[in-house]
Amino acid sequence: MTQLALVIDLNVCVGCHACVTSCKEWNTSGLSGPLSDFNAYGKDPTGTFFNRVQTFEVGVYPNTETVHFPKSCLHCEEPPCVPVCPTGASYKRAEDGIVLVDYDKCIGCKYCSWACPYGARELDENQKVMKKCTLCVDRIYDMNLPERERRPACVLSCPASARLFGDIHDPESEVSRAIREQGGFELMPEWGTKPANHYLPRRKMRLHLHEDELVRADNPLKKEEYMPKPDINEPTLDDVMPW
Amino acid sequence: MHPAFSVIFLTVLLGFGQGTFLALATAEIYAYFDLLPMPPQSYFNAAGAFVALAFLTGGLFASFFHLGRPERAWRTATKWRTSWLSREVIALPAFMGAVFLYLLVHFFEWNPVIIERIGAPPVTLSLVIVAIGTVLAFVLFVCTAMIYASLKFLQEWHTPLTVINYILIGGASGFLFTAVLASIVQPDLTYFFGGLSALLLVLATGTRIASLIRNLRLRPKSTLQTAIGVHHRQIAQKTQGAMGGSFNTREFFHGKSPLFLKSARWGFLVTAFLVPFALTIVAIAIERPEPLFLAVAIQAAGLLVERWFFFAEANHPQNIYYQSIA
């Protein structure tokens, strides 16, 4: 069984919101569009978004870390939003595990949004139906696109490559390997929803520099101190030789 | 959660309707066993069934205001295997049908004997409808309450007390209303219904306070740590991704101060439970129905506050992601 999902590396995300805007751009003009905005340039702008980047500060100043946290539908393997839907508009695709809403069946009762602990579903105030991330289902299977573009818009746009996309049920896929080898985790595991999307944790990055990495020893003999060590400001062999 | 007025009216009105029918059913069963000095007359049952049907219709009407696409409401009956909301959508018209049949039977006073029994009173058509209607009333109570009680993330609702409260509160309000109706249509039944409504109100007060205490002691399962998977004690949200509001900031927050919430809690305990109970007891003691009229009016207002509080009290885990705008 295939379960397509995103793996988001919190250690890499810089919080640029490129995934947010590219998601909105693709989806407002695609299958699930329009993602209606109201007062877009007014006092209280609001609108439908599938993806948002939030920012959290961890620790106490001055020892703080800023965590940028992209949040969208997690395409749970046990989606709590699907069984509560009274019309069957919410469903999970058997073939690739994407959780979708049939906009022609949805009655806009909002019950699924109550049943989602992540707040991943939004009512489109214009169409009055529930909308959520589709994992760009209208894009990833589009044979008119070159193969490298058959990925969700947010993944393609991420300038830091913080977002990976693939099948988490295939143990050899890039996403499975990332989850396995880099400590991928689920959000709110306490509810047993088994989110398909995973996040990779923050990691401590420390650079260890040794003195001999800073001071160049051209001549091994000099290093072994058969000859006097050159001053750090003296030209090196590379500077004086015309090779 | 943000309390929607459509759902507040839906649940309160359905409770009134179901309670009224259950009160009629109780009187009819009492009369069957010859426990009432004077059995309920057909015109009283017809009037009661008419009012119950009016309440249920009002609730159904209110529910449509909750839907973004009410013209597709017929689709909601399709997923009864998994969705309590779908089950409610089936149970409500079924129960309304039973109440309507009951209304017809008593309006046209056409009440044939269905089962003849030796040495026992005959079972009439009305009694058969009472039996079916009672089952359907309880099914509807369970469906309505399970819509909320089945959501395990909403810990305030995820308890059997939710179902018990819906049944007892709806029952108490319906019995009290039926007592008022009886004082106009068939006065000899007034204090029978009044006494039972006081009894139900005592039970409902107990279970409602139990649920309030339970909810005050709840510890949320989800925390900011599990929500973003960062295990540090000090995490503060700096942005939520948008400066303006979104569906997430509107649908899941009641937007009122803690003081408002606290006064609503004490307000409904007094107006929906304490005052109607005291007035009912007074009415029974002085054998005059006037306090019952006052009781039913105050309780109706109190129950709207009770239902408002029921929704406002529930704290959705998604709110963890929306603690700070910028």
| pLDDT given for residue A227 in this prediction | 65
Nearest to B324 by CA among B253, B256, B273, B274: B253
Average pLDDT in chain A? 91
Each of the 326 residues of chain B gets a pLDDT tens digit; together they read 999 999 999 999 999 999 999 999 999 999 999 898 888 999 999 999 999 999 999 999 999 999 999 999 999 999 999 999 999 999 999 999 999 999 999 999 988 888 888 888 889 999 999 999 999 999 999 999 999 999 999 999 999 999 999 999 999 999 999 999 999 999 999 999 999 999 999 999 999 999 999 999 999 999 999 999 999 999 999 999 888 889 999 999 999 999 999 999 999 999 999 999 999 999 999 999 999 999 999 999 999 999 999 999 999 999 999 998 86
Q: Is the peptide bond before A34 cis (omega within 30 degrees of 0)?
A: yes
Nearest to B263 by CA among B227, B321, B230, B302: B302
CA–CA–CA angle B84, B87, B92 (5° rounding): 125
Residue A191 sits at the chain B interface (C-beta within 8 Å): yes
**Partner residue opposite A119 with nearest CB, options B72, B75, B318:** B318
Q: How far is B92 from chain A (nearest CA, A)?
A: 14
CB contact under 8 A, A44 and B244: yes
Q: What is the DSSP string of B78-141?
A: TTTTT-HHHHHHHHHHHHHHHHHHHHHHHHTT---EEE--TTSPPEEHHHHHHHHHHHHHHHHH
pLDDT in tens, B288-321: 999 999 999 999 999 999 999 999 999 999 999 9
| pLDDT given for residue A231 in this prediction | 75
Backbone dihedral angles phi then psi of residue B11, each to the nearest 5 degrees: -70, -40
How many angstroms separate the CA atoms of B85 and B75, rounded? 11
Fold of A4-200: Alpha-Beta Plaits (3.30.70)
Tokens for A189, please give them: 């595991």
CB A110 within 8 A of CB A48: no
Average pLDDT in chain B? 95
Tokens for A124, please give them: 């489109």
Chain A residue at shortest CA distance from B320: A118
Cβ contacts (< 8 Å) between A17 and chain B: which residues?
241
CB B248 within 8 A of CB A122: yes
pLDDT in tens, A43-94: 889 999 999 999 999 999 999 999 999 999 999 999 999 999 999 999 999 9
CB B192 within 8 A of CB B206: no
How many angstroms separate the CA atoms of A136 and A124, rounded? 18
**ipTM field:** 0.91
Residue A16 sits at the chain B interface (C-beta within 8 Å): no
pLDDT in tens, A184-207: 999 999 999 999 999 999 998 888
Which residue of B71, B247, B324 to mutate against A (max A Cβ within 10 Å)?
B247
CB A184 within 8 A of CB A178: yes
**Partner residue opposite A71 with nearest CB, options B66, B244, B321:** B321
**Partner residue opposite A86 with nearest CB, options B86, B222, B242:** B86
Tokens for A217, please give them: 């020893």
Nearest to A44 by CA among A131, A137, A162, A125: A125
| pLDDT given for residue A242 in this prediction | 77
Sorted by where each starts, the structural domains of chain B and their CATH numbers stand as: 5-217+239-321 (1.20.1630.10)
How many angstroms separate the CA atoms of B88 and B98, rounded? 15
pLDDT in tens, A115-161: 999 999 999 999 999 999 999 999 999 999 999 999 999 999 999 99
pLDDT for A7 beyond 90 = yes
Report A:193-212 residues touching B (Cβ under 8 A). 199, 201-202
